[in-house]
């Protein structure tokens, strides 16, 4: 007990690295100049890779002005830093940069990638995932802003891909006087689902939102306009609704685990040609059986005349909004980790402790092992 009190009394000096995101069309950045300013003020050193913030509208000069050191290469950033603050999970070319002394704080979504999980176990680094940091009420504060962006974007993108030149049904979601509006089916009444329903309703579409959580459905029923209809989610009800809905949004998340398959391959044949599926849950494996991750450069593919939009980093397309929304919520945790060191910070903060997915070559967050049918004890 005294040991922890003593540790907390000592202000840590930490070297923090902010690399440029290298995933396809990922323009967000792990920290804004405002966040870097706070870290420098707390006596930390921050290394930012050259042009890391450019895609989000932040220039190297902005970072230099607040005291950051600009480094040319991603390798230099990893080599200089003790803690890495990113947006997306490291990709294969980054694996070898990650060493046992690193704390990596980013979105990992381990349950959807076995190679990533194995690489991070091998690195023996401490991997703290934004998406599993959990408040006492069960909410996910670091996932919420990106879910809000992705939920709203799902309708924006879905409306576009319903257009005929892109092989959609040729439906205008809002309709016009004398013509009924398009029909949107939203699977999941969490953050993604509610934001998608809000946007679709705003366009004037008819919206059906499904969930197995009656408490959430009551909430949606209370706050949404009358043309947003709630329905209990079951395979029977989903099969019934997909036949006459134009746009289907998959927004189901199981914390840290793989998303459930709510729409199976055989169901596609029951949909009308040109129906559009936007699977926001693609990061966690997707809630449609035929989902496979796509990129902003090549966002869609067609199976059984159904257009699938399954971009794994949707908020990356609106990086200015996304970076600000994300760093608003991550900065307090970054400061805690930097000021106290990860062990003390996680010991004192239960929410942050739930973010530890992998540490020192061991899986800490059990749902990851379950996703691959591994035994945690065998790790």
Distance CA 198, CA 202 (A): 6
CB 150 within 8 A of CB 192: yes
Maximum separation of any 2 CA atoms in the chain, in Å: 74
Contacts for 174 with CB less than 8 Å, ≥ 6 apart: 181, 182, 203, 204, 205
Pick the catalytic residue: 211, 246, 279, 283? Answer: 283
Distance CA 250, CA 267 (A): 14
Contacts for 298 with CB less than 8 Å, ≥ 6 apart: none
CB 186 within 8 A of CB 230: no
Q: Is 109 a catalytic residue?
A: yes
Which residues, listed in sequence order, are joined to residue 248 by a DSSP beta bridge?
Answer: 185, 277
| DSSP classification of residue 246 | S
Pick the catalytic residue: 44, 102, 109, 206? Answer: 109
End-to-end CA distance of the chain: 29
H helix runs in the chain, sequence order: 2-9, 33-41, 60-65, 74-80, 114-123, 144-161, 191-203, 214-223, 235-242, 319-340, 342-348, 350-353, 366-371
Contacts for 329 with CB less than 8 Å, ≥ 6 apart: 141, 142, 144, 145
- Buried residues in 111-130 as b, exposed as e (16+ CB within 10 A): bbbeebbebbbebbbbbbbb
Q: Is 296 a catalytic residue?
A: no
CB 46 within 8 A of CB 53: no
CB 150 within 8 A of CB 315: yes
**Active-site amino acid positions:** 109, 283
């Amino acid at each position: 007990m005294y040991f922890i009190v003593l540790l907390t009394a000592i202000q840590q000096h930490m070297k923090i690295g902010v690399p440029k995101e290298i995933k396809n069309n990922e323009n967000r950045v792990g920290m804004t100049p405002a966040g870097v300013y706070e870290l420098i003020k707390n006596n930390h050193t921050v290394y930012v890779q050259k042009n890391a913030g450019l895609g989000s509208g932040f220039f190297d000069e902005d970072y230099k002005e607040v005291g950051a050191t600009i480094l040319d290469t991603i390798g230099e950033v990893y080599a200089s830093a003790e803690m890495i603050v990113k947006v997306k999970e490291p990709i294969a070319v980054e694996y070898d940069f990650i060493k046992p002394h690193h704390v990596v704080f980013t979105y990992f979504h381990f349950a959807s990638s076995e190679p990533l999980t194995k690489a991070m176990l091998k690195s023996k680094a401490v991997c703290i995932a934004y998406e599993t940091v959990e408040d006492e009420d069960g909410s996910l504060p670091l996932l919420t802003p990106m879910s809000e962006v992705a939920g709203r974007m799902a309708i924006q993108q879905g409306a576009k891909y319903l257009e005929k030149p892109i092989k959609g049904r040729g439906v205008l979601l809002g309709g016009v006087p004398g013509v009924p509006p398009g029909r949107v089916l939203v699977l999941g009444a969490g953050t993604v689902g509610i934001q998608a329903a809000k946007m679709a309703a705003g366009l004037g579409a008819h919206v059906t939102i499904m969930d197995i959580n009656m408490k959430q459905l009551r909430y949606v029923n209370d706050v949404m306009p009358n043309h947003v209809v709630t329905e209990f989610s079951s395979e029977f009800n989903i099969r019934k609704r997909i036949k006459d809905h134009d746009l289907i949004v998959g927004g189901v998340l199981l914390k840290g685990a793989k998303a459930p398959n709510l729409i199976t391959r055989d169901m596609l044949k029951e949909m009308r040609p040109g129906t559009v599926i936007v699977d926001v849950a693609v990061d966690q494996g997707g809630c449609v059986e035929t989902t496979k991750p796509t990129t902003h450069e090549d966002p869609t593919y067609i199976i059984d005349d159904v257009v699938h939009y399954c971009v794994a980093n949707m908020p990356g397309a609106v990086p200015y909004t996304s970076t600000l929304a994300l760093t608003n919520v991550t900065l307090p945790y970054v400061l805690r980790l930097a000021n106290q060191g990860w062990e003390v910070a996680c010991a004192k903060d239960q929410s942050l402790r739930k973010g530890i997915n992998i540490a020192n070559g061991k899986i800490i967050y059990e749902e990851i092992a379950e996703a691959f049918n591994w035994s945690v004890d065998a790790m």
